[in-house]
Amino acid sequence: MSEEKKTGFFGRLFKRNRLEEKASEEVVSDATPTGEIELEEPDEHDLRIDVEQPEPEDLSQENQSPQELFRLKTGLTKTRKGFFRGLDEVFLGKRELDEQVLHRLEEALVRADIGVQTSYELLEQVTERVKRREIDNPQAVIKHIKEMIREYLEKVESPLRVGYGMEPFVVMVVGVNGSGKTTTIAKIAARHKAANRKVMLVAGDTFRAAAVEQLQIWGDRIGCEVVKGKAKADPSSVAFEAMDRALKEDVELVLVDTAGRLHTRVPLMDELKKVHKTLGKKISNSPHETLIVIDASMGQNAILQARTFNQAVPVTGVALTKLDGTSKGGVIIGISKELKIPIRYVGIGEKMDDLRDFNARQFSDALFSADESTESD
């Protein structure tokens, strides 16, 4: 690295220290996705950036306001009514446990889109404790299931940290069309722009003109440079050019969009591998994060998607979107238990701050909270 490059980096770092008053060395990214199947002009309210909000370094899920926690509970209402109301129906009018209740519990868990493997493991643990007389009433069963779910989720709780000293930090974003991938990229970028970081977007989905144009619209609104190639250009060549420019221009965060391929198309998955390899050739150890964006409404198919993508490129994080619009949000439990891939973000709405850093305790509490706490306004 030349002296000019070093001076540029430390100059930015010292300037940031003065502006942020000794901000921490990590940035917590936070944003929200929406669908991306059709090109639409983003609404102004979708990209509101409140300059009075603390920078990502200062954000803490443990210190969210009551209003923010209320929003999380509201966003998970459909999942709670779908899966967890099913548990209530299992125990309705029951004061003690018997074989019939356990059989109904098995059916409810299997229908809950948490994955068959996870369902039977939960059931096995409950049954074993019933046999040992450690739990002997419906409320104790629900409490035990909640504790096990929280344990599963805590093992994959890992918000994305973009730290200094690894610049540019490269994030490769994968996922099928309609998962909210492009707008997730845009909203992550917006939060980092609000933290005074230099962000670049890379339009790697070169086979869909609408995808490139959509990313350009977001980039213009956020104020980010967008690197794009010619129509149907080799995505790897676009990625290579972007990495070259990111190094020359002292970019701090690079977000690489990729084709919204079907995970069952082998040639397209091979293309992903090529892009991943190209990034690593230009910038050592990149991509530093490979983030898969998954639509929660896919239910158990989301687990299959994540598993298949992970076989093509090493997925290091999950963003689970559209939880507010589905009753199948329990799939997050299956992803955490069966795949053990860190969960970075959960999307619970269309607003900028509805893409949240994943917090296992708050998420499980919101799932099991009383409906009346979220339905009253």
pLDDT string in tens for the chain (377-residue length): 444 444 444 344 444 443 344 333 333 334 334 444 344 444 444 444 443 333 434 434 455 667 777 888 888 888 888 776 777 788 776 667 778 888 888 888 888 788 888 888 998 998 888 888 888 788 888 888 889 999 999 999 999 988 766 689 999 999 988 899 998 998 899 889 999 999 999 999 887 888 899 999 999 999 999 999 887 889 999 999 999 999 999 999 999 999 876 655 667 788 899 999 999 998 988 999 999 999 998 888 888 888 989 988 999 999 999 998 888 888 899 898 888 999 999 988 887 778 889 999 888 888 887 654 444 44
List residues bridging with 285 in a β-sheet: none
For position 30, what pLDDT does the model report? 40
For position 256, what pLDDT does the model report? 97
For position 165, what pLDDT does the model report? 67
User: Contact, 81 vs 371, CB < 8 A?
Assistant: yes
For position 32, what pLDDT does the model report? 38
For position 350, what pLDDT does the model report? 83
CA dist., res. 102 & res. 91, Å (int):
9
Sign of CA dihedral 59, 60, 66, 72: positive
For position 31, what pLDDT does the model report? 39
For position 237, what pLDDT does the model report? 94
For position 181, what pLDDT does the model report? 92
CB-neighbour burial class of residue 282 (10 A; exposed 0-12, middle 13-18, buried 19+): middle
For position 16, what pLDDT does the model report? 45
CB-neighbour burial class of residue 307 (10 A; exposed 0-12, middle 13-18, buried 19+): middle
